[in-house]
């Protein structure tokens, strides 16, 4: 008997189209200072021994590998919506002998109890989510983070110049204008604050051939604690 898969919400694949997913790593290497961008992300995350860390939207596993190399005892986990990237990431991690549990979900509730993680990191995912999707993801991240936990987001931000604005049209043509316009307007940190995150900051940004990649950090504050 065939097993019925749970209905998955619609999502944008890593490169905008499903048939391009296999080219993701090559394209990132070609169009971005990948090492610099990912190293800066991991440095901002600064994973410690025995901390529980979740990558939301792990893609082909490039950040998970770097986080593991930065601090191997960190208790890492990955969550994504796309079964295709899970296969790619699993193969890559297995080849390197890195054991990280990778989870798939349907785009709704994260498959973890409240207060599961010390830190959540996410790179290049929020520009693929609708406005409602961005808020829903922030809400789930807040739920699974421990009080005082840290969120680090790296994603397309407000272009640093006219040239960066022009460059970003390439991403918008692939991923769509609907999900990416809020990024261009610099609304990701605004949404983080609206969702209740505290101490929201933009510590850095890096210009790439495709646009300005910005870093956003915040601390998780739980509504129940805020009322006390």
Ligand X SMILES: C[S@@+](CC[C@H](N)C(=O)[O-])C[C@H]1O[C@@H](n2cnc3c(N)ncnc32)[C@H](O)[C@@H]1O
Query: What are the residues binding ligand X (CB under 6 A)?
Result: 11-14, 57-59, 62-63, 80-82, 85, 107, 123-125, 128-129, 133
State in angstroms the smallest separation of the CB of 131 from ligand X. 13
Which residue has the closest beta carbon to ligand X?
A: 59
Q: Are 184 and 158 in contact (CB under 8 A)?
A: yes
Torsion of CA 169, 170, 175, 176, to 10 degrees: 30
Q: How far is the CB of 1 from ligand X (least distance, A)?
A: 29
- To ligand X, the closest distance from the beta carbon of 104 in angstroms equals 9
Q: Which residue, 43 or 50, is less far from ligand X as judged by CB?
A: 43
171 or 218: CB nearest ligand X? 171
CB closer to ligand X out of 44 and 80: 80
Comparison of 123 and 195: residue with beta carbon closer to ligand X: 123
* CA-to-CA separations, 123 to 34, 38, 72, 97, 114, in angstroms, rounded: 12, 9, 20, 23, 22
Alpha carbon distance 117, 147 (integer Å): 9
Minimum CB separation of residue 44 from ligand X in Å reads: 13
Q: Tell me if residue 145 falls in helix, strand or coil.
A: strand
CB of 228 to ligand X, least distance (A): 32
Residues 157, 154: Cα–Cα separation, whole Å = 9
Distance from C-alpha of 132 to C-alpha of 130, rounded to nearest angstrom: 5
Taking the least distance from each CB to ligand X, the nearer of 11 and 169 is 11
């Amino acid at each position: 008997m065939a097993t019925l898969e749970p209905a998955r919400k619609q999502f944008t694949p890593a490169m905008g189209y499903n048939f391009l997913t296999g080219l993701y790593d090559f394209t990132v290497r070609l169009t971005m200072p990948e090492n610099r961008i990912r190293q800066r992300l991991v440095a901002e995350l600064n994973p410690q021994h025995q901390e529980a860390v979740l990558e939301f939207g792990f893609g082909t596993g490039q950040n998970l590998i770097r986080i593991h190399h930065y601090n191997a005892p960190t208790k890492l986990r990955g969550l994504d919506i796309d079964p295709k990237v899970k296969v790619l990431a699993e193969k890559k991690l297995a080849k390197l002998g890195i054991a990280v549990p990778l989870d798939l979900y349907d785009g709704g509730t994260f498959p973890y109890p409240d207060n599961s993680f010390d830190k959540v990191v996410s790179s290049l995912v929020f520009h693929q989510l609708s406005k409602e999707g961005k808020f829903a993801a922030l809400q789930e991240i807040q739920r699974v983070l421990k009080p005082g936990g840290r969120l680090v987001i790296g994603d397309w931000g407000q272009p640093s110049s006219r040239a960066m604005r022009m460059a970003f049209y390439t991403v918008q043509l692939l991923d769509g204008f609907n999900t990416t316009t809020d990024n261009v307007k610099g609304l990701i940190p605004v949404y983080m604050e609206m969702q209740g995150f505290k101490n929201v900051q933009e510590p850095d940004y890096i210009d790439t051939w495709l646009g300005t990649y910005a870093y956003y950090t915040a601390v998780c504050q739980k509504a129940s604690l805020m009322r006390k």
